[in-house]
Amino acid sequence: MGNRAILLIIGGGIAAYKSLELIRHLRQRGYAVQPILTKAGTEFVTPLSVSALAGGKVFQDLFSLSDESEMGHIELSRSADLVVVAPATADLMAKLAAGHANDLASTALLATDKAVLMAPAMNLRMWNHATTQRNFALLQKDGILFVGPNDGEMACGEFGPGRMAEPGEIVAAIERMFDTLAGPLAGKTALVTAGPTREPLDPVRFISNRSSGKQGYAIAHALAQAGAATTLVSGPVERDAPSRVKLLRVETAREMLSACESVLPVDVAICTAAVADWRPEIATDQKLKRKKGSPPPVITLAENPDILAALSHARPRPALVVGFAAETENVVAYAREKRAAKGCDWIVANDVSTDTGTVGGESNRVHLLTADKVEDWPLLDKTEVARRLVARIAETLKARNA
């Protein structure tokens, strides 16, 4: 993919020599590479070799007058289509996580409005250090993408995680990012709810259900792949965040609603969560005790908020609100009623009677109900249902914007 510009920040690490190879690979593929070499980076590679491979000037100094007059650091950070940090040292990660801007590299990272990909490289103890891991988690939460580090033998002779990803892997990650940036939902925001909710009865007991979250996680993944900035609000399931998806973990329906509200406004909202309709009216602070001779406790239930209905009536309202209907009989008829009752645009209706194996299973047979029609989809893997649904969403938003 040619004519794309990459701002490449080369940090000070032994892996910096691989960045020279990276520049070569990128230029062979037609990318323009604008390098920034940190002061520590110059200990490992020379500005001359970097500029020779990049075919242009290397920026090094925040306060260099000529650079500032030719191209301010703000402009430098924004003129590229993508920012890549390779090697991303523990120091560069820490600086960005903390918001420092005391040299050209950290200033460009803070000033950019473009996607940032980091390829960490450091000693394995530095990588495993609680501080680096905290910074790593923070940066991921802020939307920074990572490739590597890989396991392997380090320059210092130790073995473990910390080796910078190979140039080929970094190029592949860059190309995936560009695919996303050019995806049909690039520039759109999406919100997905998934999983069950857990409604406490006392500190150790709760009411919940068997939702696995699989369909919702697959949809969040497909939305992110299509380029949407995606937030997934998930009840308790044992799943990792899909790549490029911001994951907010919640337990109760009320927490799920407020997490969703914190994400608004969005262009698309998709509610796949199996929200518990009711919660115990009182969740006791202390564990309920069984008393000999006493009758079992009576649990009074209170209604939970309806998140799909709330999002369907939010102001500003998402351009498209999609609900799921889990039914065991009269699937389409009940789903039609549900669409009207909740005020959403589409309902994806599925049959969850136990013989279908949908709940917790790999596949799903769904019917897509829109304002004017019902589409019966064949039995599909949940990832394929997600992919098709996202393709339909992209088509619809495009048609509306046209």
User: Which residues are near ligand CTP by CB under 6 A?
Assistant: 193, 253, 271-273, 275, 277, 304, 306-308, 323-326, 338
Largest CA-CA distance found in the chain, in angstroms, rounded: 87
d(CA 121, CA 13): 7
3-state SS, 86-123, equals EEECHHHHHHHHHCCCCCHHHHHHHHCCCCEEEEECCC
344 is catalytic: no
List all residues 6 or more positions away from 229 whose beta carbon is below 8 Å from its beta carbon.
143, 188, 189, 190, 246
Kindly calculate the radius of gyration of the chain based on its CA atoms and give it in whole angstroms. Answer: 25
Q: Which is nearer to ligand CTP, 73 or 342 (CB)?
A: 342
**Integer CA distances (angstroms), 139 to 23, 98, 134, 135, 143, in order:** 24, 10, 9, 6, 6
| Tokens encoding 9 | 């920040």
By the 8 A CB rule, do 20 and 45 touch?
A: yes
Helix ranges (H only) for 154-227 are 167-181, 214-225
Of 156, 260, 271, 344, the catalytic one is 156
Q: At what angle do helices 382-401 and 214-225 cross, to 10 degrees?
A: 50
Handedness of CA 333, 334, 337, 339 (dihedral sign): negative
Beta bridge partners of 9: 36, 85
Question: In the complex, what is the shortest distance from the CB of residue 362 to ligand CTP, in angstroms, rounded to a whole number?
Answer: 20
> Least distance to ligand CTP from the beta carbon of 228, Å?
18
Q: Which is nearer to ligand CTP, 248 or 271 (CB)?
A: 271
Nearer to ligand CTP, 38 or 350 (CB): 350
Smallest distance, ligand CTP to C-beta of residue 275, A? 4
Shortest reach from residue 318's CB to ligand CTP, in Å: 13
Q: 17 vs 334, which CB is nearer to ligand CTP? A: 334
Least distance (Å) from ligand CTP to the CB of residue 348?
8
Which of 35/213 has CB closer to ligand CTP? 213
- Catalytic site positions: 156
